[in-house]
Structure 1
Amino acid sequence: MSVSTSVPDKGVAVVTVDHPPVNALPVRGWFDLADAVRDAGRDPATRCVVLAAEGRGFNAGVDIKEIRRDSGHGALIGANRGCAAAFSAVYDCEVPVVAAVHGFCLGGGIGLVGNADAIVASEDATFGLPELDRGALGAATHLSRLVPQHLMRALYYTARTVTAAELHAHGSVWQVVPRPELLETAVELACEIARKDGTLLRLAKAAINGIDPVDVHRSYRFEQGFTFEANLSGLADRARAGFGTQTQGKGRA
């Protein structure tokens, strides 16, 4: 598991996650990601953060195997808190965050990009919440920031995915590019943002968050309460028992 930060251009910090094989993060990984994003945003030299990933896809959510190995609820509680911390770090980052998404963006990945300020995606990127198949609930808060309400509900109940092109049509993805051009394009957008005054950017981020119609922190933690209920009741175990190791979602009809 690695979370690294690089500075490809003045004012731009790139936070990159690399956790093979599918970037399904363990508890520690979510907290490490939260720390990296917060640290990047707090740096006075940073004016925009790019959130990226290596490997087959952007993010496949939490490490289900880690939760299965735990005979109690410690791993589940840790995953809940870790995801909340990482999602909040993106949302509360003092400067704008651009998500660079390739391949699959599932579960916790939706929480990250849904809280980002802008999304650049590769042509092969797909987005979805397979939570019901995994015995979990959550991140509808963030999916609601990407698609209209009724589409969000249909996607949530069916666990289907949508493409980057479809999200671009809804206006939630800024640009769709060939995969080899993804990081360069995301950094170009970040550089354009970073050319603004740093203090004004921080004020703008705080102002825009302040007028959000939904409190994303409280809304997501409310959802997580139902995840814990599903686990306590045994529903989650039954759902996870039928969940395979594949990260691909179903496409829309």
Structure 2
Amino acid sequence: MVTEAVKYEKKDSIAFITMNRPEKRNALSIEMAAGLVDALKDAEKDPEVKVVIISGEGKIFSAGGDLEVLHTLDNSAKIMEYMKQALAIIQTIRELDKYVISAVHGFAAGAGFSIAVAADFVVAKKDAAFVCSFTNVGIIPDLGLLKELTDNLPNAVVKEWISSGRPIAAEEAYHRGIVNHVTAEDVVEAAMHYAAFIVDGPPLANTFVKHMVNHADEWSSGTNDLQETAIQTLLLQTEDNKEGIQAFFEKRKPNFRGK
């Protein structure tokens, strides 16, 4: 789906996906939701892309759900369709075979917060903030944010962040383990530098690491052991594994090709 609400560019093995409704503070419309999913799938299909960076055009990352759109959803069918489209963003990020980095500046509020922390890694501008703004309009966090927070933070902190709706500074989010890296520089450029270990890393192994970690809480120890053994058996037969071993003995940087 081609849409003006989402920009897609590619450079040096990185796909740049930009939410492009700056006049609406990158509020999430159905068009933008569909565009984000399509852009993510385009990145996944491109063999040259090794990592995806999601950012927002203009002064902020995203203000969350578009209240003007939400205000028009006057029945369950319309609400469910909007939620389905929005949730597809989070599901696609989680199941994508490539790592996704969110580059957050200004603030990420409501559904914008959900999208930011659904990424595999979060890079935030030093003056950025994350806002659980849902209770301000009488609803609960959605798009997987409640589970994401409760999986990573003490319950008391989650309840405070949600119920108060106060801005969570990037530094606080970093110390709570929600943000990977805080920068004073341009946040997209910082995300590009941060992505170096992914771009230079083994694509196949990274794919399996992402899915193993994302689904670890669904498996028993026995199932996890079986998954590890099967995946390791596969990876030990790849060209990347042979290249990594050869590079180790030759004391050079490996050139992984995803084969």
| TM-score, with length taken from structure 2 | 0.76
Task: Report what 2:128 is aligned to.
Answer: 125
Task: Report what 2:18 is aligned to.
Answer: 16
Task: Report what 1:97 is aligned to.
Answer: 100
* Equivalent residue in structure 1 for 2:83, among 80, 84, 90: 80
Instruction: Give the direction of change, closer, same or farther, for the CA distance of 1:146–1:23 in structure 2 (3 Å limit).
Output: farther
* Equivalent residue in structure 1 for 2:176, among 170, 175, 188: 170
**Larger radius of gyration between Structure 1 and Structure 2:** 2
Greater relative contact order (Cα < 8 A, sep 6+): 1
What letter matches 1:158 in structure 2? S
8 Å Cα contact 1:12/1:48 also seen in 2 = yes
Shift of residue 79 of structure 1?
2.3
2:195 alignment partner, SS class: helix
What letter matches 1:63 in structure 2? D
Q: Mean Cα displacement is larger for which, 73-82 or 24-33?
A: 73-82
What letter matches 2:133 in structure 1? P
The question of 1:66 aligning with 2:72 is answered no
* Equivalent residue in structure 2 for 1:207, among 188, 208, 212: 212
Shift of residue 157 of structure 1?
1.3
Mind listing any 5+ residue stretches in structure 2 that lack a counterpart?
220-259
1:195-239 per-residue CA deviation (whole Å, 9 max, x = no partner) reads: 11222221222222221469xxxxxxxxxxxxxxxxxxxxxxxxx
8 Å Cα contact 1:48/1:191 also seen in 2 = no
Instruction: Give the direction of change, closer, same or farther, for the CA distance of 1:205–1:70 in structure 2 (3 Å limit).
Output: closer
Task: Report what 1:47 is aligned to.
Answer: 50
8 Å Cα contact 2:102/2:117 also seen in 1 = no
Distance 1:70 1:116 in 2: 28
The question of 1:4 aligning with 2:10 is answered no
Distance 2:165 2:9 in 1: 34
Instruction: Report runs of 4+ in structure 1 exceeding 6 Å deviation.
Output: none
Task: Report what 1:144 is aligned to.
Answer: 150
- Indicate the RMSD between aligned Cα atoms, in angstroms: 1.9
Matched pairs, number: 212
Shift of residue 141 of structure 1?
1.9
Distance 2:95 2:9 in 1: 20
Task: Report what 2:163 is aligned to.
Answer: 157
| TM-score, with length taken from structure 1 | 0.77
Distance 1:21 1:171 in 2: 29
Task: Report what 1:190 is aligned to.
Answer: 195
8 Å Cα contact 2:65/2:112 also seen in 1 = no
Task: Report what 1:226 is aligned to.
Answer: none
